[in-house]
Amino acid sequence: MQKTTLVIMAAGIGSRFGEGIKQLTSVGPSGEIIVDYSVHDAIEAGFNKIIFVIRKDIHKDFEEIIGHRIAKKCHVEYAFQELEDLPEGFSVPEDRIKPWGTGQAVLACKDLIHEPFAVINADDYYGKEAFVKVHDFLVEHANDEAHYCMPGFILKNTLSDQGGVSRGICQVDDEGYLTEIIETHNIVKKDKDFAVTEDTGKEIPMSSLASMNMWGVTPDYLDILETGFVDFLKNIPEGDIKAEYLLPIIMEGLLKDGRAKISVLETHDKWFGITYAADKEKVIAEFKKLVDKGVYPTPLNS
C-alpha cells in the first residue's frame, strides 16, 4: 500500500488566542477542534501518517491537548518551525519576531518525509472531498516528480458573511493544470453569480476556483524548498523584517519557470476557518449543521 502523509502547519496555533494553546476553544458538539475533523477526514481518505509542524515552546501543551488523542488513531510525528532554523551562513535580523512562513514550515519536515504528502493549515476546515481527491492523486502520481496538485475550492464556498476576504483565484487551462494564482483582496458577495472586490469593484464569478493553501506534493518538493529558501534569504531587501517564504508564491515561481505542473482538483465542500477568536461562533454553527446532516458522528471517532 502506498504510504501518504499529512503535514499540518500548526506553528501559529494558539498565538492569536493568548499565550500557549490552552485557550483554544472547541468547535464540535463533543469538544472537537478543527484539527480533529481534518485528521478524521484524512485517515478516512487513506492518509496513514500525520506530521504536526509546531513551535518547541508549545510542544508539551500540544501533545496533552491534541497530539496524544490523535496518536491513538494514526502514527504522529512532530517537526519544529523556529525563527533561528536557517541555512548555514544566515542569521536572524535583530528585530525579526516571526518565523519565515509556510515554506519554512514544510521544510522543517525534511528528515521525516519519504513519501507523497499533503499540506494543510491547522485552523482551516477543508471538507472530506478535498482529502479524498488529494490522496488519490498522490497514490496515482507517487512516482511523478514535479507533478503536484491542489484542491480548487469554488469561490462561493469560501466567502464570509462578515466582510471582505483575500483569496488566490486560480487560472486553469483546458487540461486542468494551474497556470496562475491571482492574489485578490477584499472579496465580498455581490449576488448569487458574482463577488466583487471592495476596493476596485471588479466582478469575480462565484464559480471561480480558489486556492486555500492545501497542496499535494512528492518528496522531491522538499529539495526544491531547501534550495529556494537559500535564494529567498539572499534576496530579502535590506531592512525587511517581515518577508515570508510562502507556498503559493513558491508554487507560482515553479510554474513560471516550467519546473513543475500542478493539477487543480475541483472540490465542492464548503471551506471555513478561524483566523481570530471572534470567528468561533460561526464555525461552531457550521459544524453543528454537518453533524445534524450526518456528515460526522458525535463524538467524532476515526
Which CA distances in Å does 132 have to 45, 104, 221, 228, 288?
5, 26, 21, 29, 22
Quick one: pLDDT at residue 55?
A: 92
Q: What pLDDT, in 10s, does the model give residues 20-48?
A: 565 567 899 999 999 999 999 999 999 99
Quick one: pLDDT at residue 302?
A: 53
Instruction: Give, as one character, the DSSP assignment of residue 31.
Output: S
Residue % of the chain over a pLDDT of 90: 82
Q: So where are the chain's domains? A: 5-292
Cα separation of 122 and 78, whole Å? 14
Least confident of 17-21, 67-71, 239-243, 263-267: 17-21
Least confident of 22-36, 54-68, 81-95, 104-118: 22-36
Look up the CATH number of domain 5-292: 3.90.550.10
Q: Which three cell numbers stand for residue 131?
A: 482529502
| Contact in structure between 81 and 58 (CB atoms under 8 Å) | no
The DSSP bridge pattern shows strands 194-197 and 261-267 to be unpaired
Cα separation of 77 and 67, whole Å? 9
Q: What is the mean pLDDT of residues 263-285?
A: 87
> What's the mean per-residue pLDDT of the chain?
92
Reported residue count of the chain is 302
Q: What pLDDT, in 10s, does the model give residues 207-247?
A: 999 999 999 999 999 999 999 999 999 999 989 999 999 99
